[in-house]
Amino acid sequence: MTNYLVNRLFGALLTVWVTTLAVCFLIHLVPGDPVQIMYAQSATTTPEQLDLIRHNLGLDRSIIHQYVIYMSNLLQGDFGTTIRGQQKVLDLILLRLPYTLWLTITALIISLIIGGVAGFFAAYKQGQWLDRLLMSSTIIGISIPPFWLGLMLLAFFSVNLGWFPVAGDGWLSLILPATTLAACQAATIGRIVRSTMIDIFDQDYIRTAYAKGLSKPRVLGRHALRSGMVPIISILGMQFAYMMGGAIVVEYIFSWNGLGRLAIQAIFQRDYPLIQGFILTFSFIVVLVSVLMDVLYAVLDPRISRK
Amino acid sequence: MANELHEPQNTNSYFWAALGVLDSTIKWLVKRRFLFFLGLLTTILVALSLSANHWVPFDPEQMAAGPRLKPPSSSHWFGTDEFGRDIFSRIMVGMRLTLQVGFVSVCISLSIGMTVGLVAGYFGGWLERLLMRAMDVLFSFTEILIALALVAVLGPSLENAMIAIGIAAVPFYARVCYGAVLVERNKPYTEAAISIGAGHARIIFYHLLPNVLPTMIVVSTIGLSNAILAASGLSYLGLGAQPPSPEWGAMLAASKNYFQRAPSLLFIPGLSIMTIVLIFNLLGDQLRQMLDYNDQGKHS
Amino acid sequence: MKQSILTVEKLRIGFKSKTGINTAVHELSFELNAGETLAIVGESGSGKSISSLALLGLLPKSATIESGSVHLHGQDILKMKESELRRIRGGKIAMIFQEPMTALTPVLSIGEQLIEGILCHQMISKQQAYKTAVEMLRVARIPEAEKRMQQFPHQLSGGMRQRVMIAMALACRPQILVADEPTTALDVTVQAQILSLMKTLQQEFGTAIILVTHDMGVVAEMADRVLVMCQGRQIEKGTVLQVLKTPQAAYTQKLLGAVPVMGNVKDSRQLISASVSARPLLEINDLSVRFDIREGLLSRVKSRVHAVEQVSFSIAKGETLALVGESGSGKSTIGRAILNLIPIETGVVRFKGRDITGWSNRLMRPLRNDMQMIFQDPMASLNPRNKVWKLVAEPMQIHTRCSKAERYQKTLKLFERVGLSEQDMQRYPHQFSGGQRQRICIARALATDPDIIVADECVSALDVSVQAQIIELMKSLQDERGLSYLFISHDLAVVEQISHRVAVMNMGQIVELGDTQSVLHMPQHVYTQKLIAAVPSIDPEQTKLTQKGLIQEELLSPIKPIGYKPTTSVIKKINSSGSHWILDQSPPIQGNIVK
């Protein structure tokens, strides 16, 4: 098992490192002069000031030099400063990150419960009306554009009915965005759980369990569910990543003060240090969760925990 | 040889053979009537969208074609937007954009992804390890992030959104293709092909590809839906199609402010996106069911 | 006085389909007496497995019981409610299945799975159940029983898992044990142990056994009474002596006739001395094949599997050399190494005098004409998307410059030679039966008129009657064309039918090599003797299984750390010409006992 975990950890570190490379050189993908673009709207900056900014950003040095500066700054916790407000990028990110995590984790839990239960029962009653009903609704669920759903919920429940605030920071304001995120994901998770469980119900060892005389709840709960948890956990890491991505748009719609909304503002304002910081953080969180899921997987699957 | 089938020799068998083929095709279509219906629907929609510019009642970009923010009526079937433009016309023309974006990005992802998957899966060794590690790294960036980053860098436009989404989905297609190639490569018929002296090209294109293709087709239809959702999402944020383009996501961007006065502005473009995505998801689902059935040894 | 405990009357089972119900089992009737073994014998598609599942109410959802009854102590099981049925499953009737590798839940420990079965039927405490479980493992002759309780299924070998299954099944002392092909997936030596175990436990516990199998040898060794099935119908029923010695039905006679029996060869294969003295077609010297095991951070190679170790032999023109051994002996690996389908570590391979060791695919290309291979699974070795004539013609397409019409004609001749028709050429692989597909594979192998064909377990997956036909075809092709075969198999009786010489393999080394009759009837090496002793005899009056012989499995591991240097093997000649030799045992086979 240590081999497996060390391998995973190594992969994770590799990913993070490549991210820093990509992020550092992202600026150079921009056609034209990035600094010019960044300050295009600011009429008062003189060419000398632009040169100074260029120097500060290290854009006048060689590529390797730039990377070294960037990495050393990074490791000291300096993610740079934003163009607009001249704030420290790291501070800004750390301020908003908890909100995004709050939203994503809540939505993940909701969608897991709904999708997991629905998927399990659909598999259990495969081919019958319940299964068909659930499958039809999930296909519609994965077809709904999440941002449209969010807009509709906002328009209807907040604007029209006034049940929820249009923007805000508390649990009440969390409900609509979390529901939007959860709705689409629940459909996906439901389908995955269903197909995994159907595969498992077909396995020889389930037949053996019945042949021993065990009751249906016991076979399903102990043998099927326990075996099913393992592959489902490995999917969860990926689902979390998708939800983080989905959260970006949802935050924008509901004016939820998370990282995603920050990112979109940054993109519009061409605030490259902020964009870089965002990409780095996002990627880091995804990789972290992925590694955690792998650890959980290794612990739960005796085929890995005991070689 | 008790189990063998021997058909009676029929010298005038061509007519009957042709009739037989026709009969089994019709039976197949009836059995798969939902798939047939979906296919037909898709073809009609594609035809409509490609010709949209010619038959829509109003110019999609013409402002004040009618009174502003009117609900659906007999003169404007879907109503009008905040500039007085006819929504129905915009939707129809926008459909071409939607389908185009989906199709082009899937083409990009599929071509790059399949190449990576085939090469990694077939040649193995250090190349396989390198490519798959690279895909793993890209994968953990998540599609949305890559798309956002690329659009942030290249600038907002529908073309850039297409390219960004296309590139962002490459790891997904590469992984699926790689997995499928591994499965086929490990089957004895590949080893048999080597043992009769087939070269790399023959094995990849004549043996592996036809068996990997069905999986890739199913994955592509689902991928198409995802691409359309991603593109409209980006357009909604203002990072994709720019106004006055009648792209559906962009149309939704403005609707938030006018919800109370003209709900159709919010409702209709979103419903259109959902319908097209739903059709492709159903298509993919049907194809996948057909494929699972096929895997039991039957060739459709 | 025999006491009937189970009565099956006119059982009719069908499969649900859109067009109605397709009957798979017609009017099956039999009785089972206390403490006896009833064998249900048939080939694939005979309905024997489905019938056994019906006894426990474990039919798949697509199957349904159309009519009939199954009476256990007077009560009809088929009419019972689920809750009553549960008490019978595991309590009165227990079942073990064919595939030990997938029969146990991977995420629960052995102990948990044993204990829950016990607690299901007995009102005892958990500690008592634990003790009972450990005791059952000991009864099943599993070493280190206490330790096994904490282990998980993947940590045990196939044979060991089957013992656990038996322990689980008999834990609540059921009256009837239904065993569905329990040893088919196991090596023959392990099979002998498991069958011995079953027989011993039957005596100890007085359990009646319903043994479903296709292997006549197993029937002869184990059964008191026999029921023969074919295509869902009951063909013949009687005591084992009656059915096996004096079969009444034509099908039974045909079935028994087709079973290859050791020592019962009509014409043993003798090679013309002229061929022997000529230069051998294929020569292997000191061949070793190793596989890397990659572990750790950067997938570094830490240890290697020594699949084939210092193997030497030669094959003359028109000769069949058989490689026999159990799973993991390295026989399949040699077949692939000779054709350069896998890399060779050390040693020399000579074909027609030329050194072809380690040649790349490009170099091998022209030789592929002359060296062909037939695989074990005929379905998987044919590309499902192509018409079969194209698959058979493919070698011609690659190597020769024939036009399409010429290829078609040549392929037609090949099809006719292997016993298929012109209409068959236009079909797809899935439209054929297993035996027909193997004929297609043979036709493909013949397409370029090869000198030697490597047949890797090519009849193992076929029914016994079809097996005999394929062997006949291969023999006649050999006589006609002067073909040589490297015949890889685990089935000694089949090997005896077709080969001139036999090489017995164990742990990657040849332990004995000589002509077929000498090796199979006067084996000199300990391992060969053990192997032959384990093959069940088809004569019920000459059973070989002792009631006690329960040798503990000792699995040596072929995995060695990197840099390990094997000692050179020493050969001991048996006859003066050296044509029959064995591996000298005095440097013992290097290995670490695994389980």
pLDDT tens digits, one per residue of C319-337: 999 999 988 888 989 999 9
* A258-267, B10-19, B100-109, B237-246, range with greatest mean pLDDT: B100-109
| Total count of residues recorded for chain C | 595
Question: Side chain identity at A111, as an amino acid letter?
Answer: S
Looking at chain B, how many residues does it have?
Answer: 300
Is there a contact between C177 and C96 (Cβ–Cβ < 8 Å)? yes
pLDDT at C295 (0 to 100): 66
- Asked if A168 and A175 count as a contact pair (C-beta separation under 8 A), the reply is no
Predicted local confidence at residue A65, as pLDDT: 74
Q: Do A302 and C295 touch (CB under 8 A)?
A: no
User: Distance (Å) from the C-alpha of residue C427 to the closest C-alpha of chain B?
Assistant: 11
Residue A44, pLDDT score: 67
Please give the ipTM for the structure prediction. Answer: 0.83
Most confident of B142-151, B254-263, C33-42: C33-42
B299:C430 CB<8 A:
yes
Q: Structure tokens of C178?
A: 């239904």
SS3 state of residue C5: strand
Residue C225 has pLDDT above 60, yes or no: yes
Per-residue model confidence (pLDDT) at position A304: 78
Structure confidence by residue, pLDDT tens digits, C353-369: 889 998 888 888 888 88
- The whole-number pLDDT of residue B294 equals 54
Would an 8 Å CB–CB cutoff place C95 in contact with chain A? yes
> Running DSSP on this structure, what letter comes out for residue C299?
T
Contact yes or no for C433 and B194 at CB 8 A:
no
Does pLDDT of A295 surpass 90? no
Interchain CB distance below 8 Å, C88 and A3: no
Give me the pLDDT at residue C149, please: 92
pLDDT at C585 (0 to 100): 60
- The mean pLDDT value of chain A amounts to 83
Mean pLDDT score of chain C, rounded to an integer? 86
Measured CA to CA, the distance from residue A204 to residue A206 in angstroms comes to: 5
Which helix (H) or strand (E) element contains residue C180? strand C176-180
Neighbours of C175 (CB within 10 A): 20
Residue A89 predicted with pLDDT over 50: yes
Which letter, b or e, does each residue of C315-349 get, where b requires 16 or more Cβ atoms within 10 Å of its Cβ? bbbbbbbbbbbbebbbbbbbbbbbbbbbebbebeb
User: Is omega for the bond preceding C588 within 30 degrees of 0, making it cis?
Assistant: no
pLDDT of residue B114: 93
Lowest mean pLDDT among B221-235, C300-314, C547-561: C547-561
Residue A109 has pLDDT above 90, yes or no: yes
Instruction: List the subunits that have 3+ CB pairs under 8 angstroms with A.
Output: B, C
Question: Is B199's CB within 8 Å of C361's CB?
Answer: yes
Considering only CA atoms, which of C147, C175, C145, C146 is closest in space to residue C163?
C145
Q: Which of the four pLDDT bands, split at 50, 70 and 90, describes residue C275?
A: low
Domain boundaries defined on chain B: 32-299
Provide the number of CB pairs (under 8 Å) joining chain A to chain C.
83
Q: Is the pLDDT of residue A286 over 80?
A: yes
Q: A-chain residues within 8 Å CB-CB of C168?
A: 212
Instruction: Give the span between the Cα atoms of C520 and C502, in whole angstroms.
Output: 8
* DSSP string covering C78-147: GG--HHHHHHHBTTTEEEE-S-TTTSS-TTS-HHHHHHHHHHHH----HHHHHHHHHHHHHHTT-SSHHH
A203 interfacial to chain C (CB closer than 8 Å): yes
* Mean pLDDT over each residue of chain B, to the nearest integer: 83
Q: Is C123 on the interface with A (CB under 8 A)?
A: no
**At B166, which amino acid appears?**
G
Its pTM stands at 0.84
Pairing of strands C320-324, C484-489: parallel
Model confidence at A206: pLDDT above 90: yes
What is the model's pLDDT at position B140?
A: 76
Spatial distance between the Cα atoms of A289 and A292, rounded to a whole number of angstroms: 5
Mutation site, A131, A147, A158, interface B, largest B CB count within 10 A = A147
Q: Which two tokens stand for residue B4?
A: 């063998």
State yes or no: pLDDT of C503 exceeds 60.
Answer: yes
Q: Which two tokens stand for residue B209?
A: 């590809």
**Chain C contacts to B (CB-CB under 8 A):** 299, 336, 339, 341, 361-362, 364-365, 368-369, 372-373, 375-377, 379-385, 394-395, 398-399, 419-421, 423-424, 428-430, 433, 435-436, 441, 444, 447-448, 469
In chain A, the residue whose alpha carbon lies closest to the alpha carbon of C55 is A211
- By the CB < 8 Å criterion, does B130 face chain A? no
Which of B5, B199, B210 has the CB atom closest to C385's CB atom?
Answer: B210
Q: What is the mean pLDDT of residues A190-212?
A: 91
Residue with tokens 């991928």: B223
Asked if the model's pLDDT at residue C591 lies above 60, the reply is no
The answer to whether B193 contacts chain C (CB < 8 Å) is yes
Q: What confidence category does residue B290 fall into, taking pLDDT thresholds of 50, 70 and 90?
A: confident
pLDDT at B12 over 70: no
**What's residue B227's pLDDT?**
93
User: Measured between alpha carbons, how far is residue A21 from residues A26, A235, A266, C231, C400 in Å?
Assistant: 8, 27, 20, 67, 53
Contact C419, C339 (CB under 8 A): no
Going by their DSSP bridges, the two strands C4-17 and C320-324 should be labelled as unpaired
* Chain C residues within 8 A of B11 when measuring between CB atoms: none
Identify the CA nearest to C464 among candidates C214, C277, C156: C214
Residue C210 at interface with chain A, using a CB cutoff of 8 Å = no
Average pLDDT on B214-228 reads 91
Compare A159 and C308 and report the one with higher pLDDT: C308
CATH superfamily of domain region C4-257: P-loop containing nucleotide triphosphate hydrolases (3.40.50.300)
Identity of the residue in C82, C107, C120 whose CB atom sits nearest the CB atom of A302 = C107
A143, A279, A280, A286, best to mutate vs chain B, most B CBs in 10 Å? A143
Tell me which amino acid residue C319 is: E
- Name the fold adopted by B32-299: MetI-like fold (1.10.3720)
Chain B: residue nearest A264 by CA? B237
Chain B residues lying within 8 Å of C369, measured CB to CB: 197
For the stretch B193-208, pLDDT in tens is 988 888 888 889 989 9
Give residues with Cβ within 8 angstroms of A164, minimum separation 6. A157, A158, A172, A173, A175, A176
8 Å CB contact between C225 and C239: yes
pLDDT in tens, A224-233: 998 888 888 8
pLDDT digits (tens, 9 = 90+) for B167-188: 999 999 999 999 999 988 888 8
Confidence at residue C545, expressed as pLDDT on a 0 to 100 scale: 65
- pLDDT at residue B295 is higher than 60: no
User: Residue C358's pLDDT is what?
Assistant: 85
Taking only the tens place, the pLDDT of each residue in B87-137 is 888 888 889 999 999 999 999 999 999 999 999 999 888 888 888 888 888
- Measured CA to CA in angstroms, residue C548 lies from C186, C196, C197, C206, C216 at distances of 20, 7, 8, 16, 22
Nearest to C383 among B189, B297, B298 (CB): B189
Q: Would you say A232 and A224 are in contact if contact means Cβ atoms under 8 Å apart?
A: no
Question: pLDDT value at position C548?
Answer: 44
Residues of B in contact with C343 (CB under 8 A): none
Is the per-residue pLDDT at A1 higher than 50? yes
Does the structure show a pLDDT above 50 at C595? no
Interface mutation target, options B38, B145, B275, chain A, most CBs of A under 10 Å: B145
For residue C350, what pLDDT is reported? 92
Taking the C-alpha atoms of residue B174 and residue B167, their distance in angstroms, rounded to an integer, is 11
User: For the segment C27-52, what is each residue's pLDDT rounded down to a tens digit?
Assistant: 899 999 988 999 999 988 888 999 99
pLDDT for C586:
47
pLDDT at position A56, please?
A: 67
Calculated CA dihedral for residues A73, A78, A82, A85, nearest 10 degrees:
-140
Could you give the percent of chain C with pLDDT greater than 90? 35
